Amino acid sequence: MLDRFANIFKIPELRDRILFTLLILFVYRLGGHVPLAGINASALGEFMDQNRTTLFGLYDMFVGGAFERATIFALGIMPYISASIIFQLMGSVVPYFQKLQKEGEEGRKKITQLTRYGTVILSALQAGGVSVFLTRLVAPSGAAVVPDPGLGFNMLTMITLAAGTTFIMWLGEQITERGIGNGISLIIMVGIINTLPQAIIEEYQMVMTGTRHIVMEAVFLVLLFVITASVVLLTQGVRKIPVQYAKRNVGRKQYGGVSTHIPLRVNSAGVMPIIFAQSIMFIPSSVAAFLPEGGFRDYLMEAFGVQSFVYMTLTFLLIVFFTYFYTAIILNPVDLADNMKKNGGFIPGIRPGKQTSDFIDNILSKVTLPGAIFLGIIAMLPTIFIRQFGVSYNVAQFFGGTGLLIIVGVALDTLQQIESHLVMRHYDGLMKSGRIRGRRRM
């Protein structure tokens, strides 16, 4: 295996791409420690410690703790993700964007350009909201997060945060073009694994102090391995629908006659259903953080706390719903059937047109159900480990949920690209037998 990894650095282009990617990620992590002007970091840290399981904690996880530290990268790449989702949803309902999606490379370039503009606008709006939010924030100890609020602080914070997000977007695009892997996804993954060293230290201290028996720690490690392997299977699982293309004679040349397949993923929606569901479920507890103590505040915190039965049940149901909802947006059986019909393709035993689209829709619904259920279970695992085993939040998030799904998905995508470079230059891939599924020929 070491020889296979050594082959990576024998290819100059691949070596340069990996080193460039590491350099950009280092710049990103460096910027994540440059503080905003006029912020009482310790007071903000107190507030975040008490609201780790609210919407603020979820947002802070995606930006690698930059929000808690109030740095110039506090908004992270989330405005870009929001803009991308907005334009993706608009592509399903707005004719102009539907036309752009069908124009191939030129259409994608136009959508990318509009996404960049949308990112700048969203980041400016969010930065303005964050600046106002920070001026009104008071730590549990009574210290103000912004000791000297005013218009100057609001404008400076707004410009700094919006520029920080724009710079992160540029860094991600540079990785995609000149590095290895998807730049935006790698930046999010690096932010999530930022808490890994702290989680390891916490587990080590618990074992050394006798708080947790070494046998129990070994059981946790085995469970972590099993859960991670299960997430890999979920990410890579596909249902292949065979497709046959009829032979066509154009002049003296013959086209078609090829057998291929349509790969329908078990989890086509990726991590988006969990993000949507948790964002909705965190709203009540996030609102409760600003209410006076007692009464309705205590009811919201108890009913919608991450360890409550209501929270777990509703989150699971929302994840199943959003899995079907998002899958329906990104995969349209009617479009798939029309494209096959235009190119002379058909599913053996199924008539082209409506019967083909109904057949694909039926298979997609059946394949998505176990994926949605498993996705809901994975999302619940951190809460179960916190509630039943007393595991800390930093450790529990690596046993499932949004963080683990993103880490596994991004790691697999990056490995697939490295595998492609190695095989293309006649080196052995990273796998001992076969190839990573995402790189196999159809």
Query: What are the pLDDT digits (tens) for 43-62?
Result: 887 877 776 666 666 667 76
Rounded mean pLDDT, 257-262: 77
Burial class of residue 17 in the structure, from the number of CB atoms within 10 Å of its CB (0-12 exposed, 13-18 middle, 19+ buried): buried
Q: Is residue 185 part of a domain?
A: no
Q: Is residue 392 part of a domain?
A: yes
pLDDT at 170: 93
pLDDT of residue 28 exceeding 60, the answer is yes
340 and 442 belong to one structural domain: yes
272 and 417 belong to one structural domain: yes
173 and 198 belong to one structural domain: no
pLDDT at 340: 83
Rounded mean pLDDT, 393-401: 75
pLDDT at 440: 39
Distance of alpha carbon 201 from alpha carbon 117, whole angstroms:
42
| DSSP H/E element including 64 | none
135 and 217 belong to one structural domain: no
pLDDT at 442: 32
pLDDT tens-digit readout, 151-174:
888 899 899 999 999 999 999 999
Q: Is residue 325 part of a domain?
A: yes
Q: Is residue 15 part of a domain?
A: no
> How many structural domains are present in the chain?
2
Strand 345-346 relative to strand 259-265, pairing? unpaired
255 and 206 belong to one structural domain: yes
Distance of alpha carbon 136 from alpha carbon 138, whole angstroms:
7
Structural domain range at position 99 = 32-179
pLDDT at 23: 94
pLDDT of residue 148 exceeding 90, the answer is no
Three-state DSSP class for residue 259? strand
pLDDT of residue 436 exceeding 70, the answer is no
77: which DSSP letter?
T
The residue type at 205? Q
pLDDT at 206: 83
172 and 200 belong to one structural domain: no
Give the confidence band of 21 by pLDDT, cuts at 50, 70, 90.
very high
78 and 223 belong to one structural domain: no
97-106, 279-288, 411-420: range with lowest mean pLDDT? 279-288
pLDDT at 210: 81
User: What is the crossing angle of helices 354-389 and 214-236, to 10°?
Assistant: 170
pLDDT tens-digit readout, 313-354:
888 898 899 899 888 888 888 888 888 888 778 888 888 888
CA atoms within 13 A on the CB side of 51: 28
CATH number of domain containing 386: 1.10.3370.10
Q: Is residue 184 part of a domain?
A: no
- 128, 152, 179 - which closes a domain: 179
pLDDT of residue 433 exceeding 60, the answer is no
159 and 220 belong to one structural domain: no
Give the number of other CB atoms < 10 A from CB of residue 118.
17
54 and 80 belong to one structural domain: yes
Distance of alpha carbon 62 from alpha carbon 68, whole angstroms:
11
Question: What residues have CB less than 8 Å from 277, skipping those under 6 apart?
Answer: 315, 318, 319, 322, 379
Q: Is residue 25 part of a domain?
A: no
134 and 215 belong to one structural domain: no
104 and 129 belong to one structural domain: yes
153: which DSSP letter?
H
Rounded mean pLDDT, 66-81: 83
Q: Is residue 7 part of a domain?
A: no
pLDDT tens-digit readout, 224-246:
888 888 888 888 888 888 888 77
The answer to whether 75 and 166 have CB atoms below 8 angstroms apart is no
pTM of the model: 0.79
The answer to whether 64 and 204 have CB atoms below 8 angstroms apart is no
- 179, 213, 247 - which closes a domain: 179
Q: Is residue 1 part of a domain?
A: no
Percentage of the residues of the chain whose pLDDT score is greater than 70: 86
297 and 170 belong to one structural domain: no
pLDDT tens-digit readout, 30-44:
888 888 888 888 888
pLDDT at 245: 79
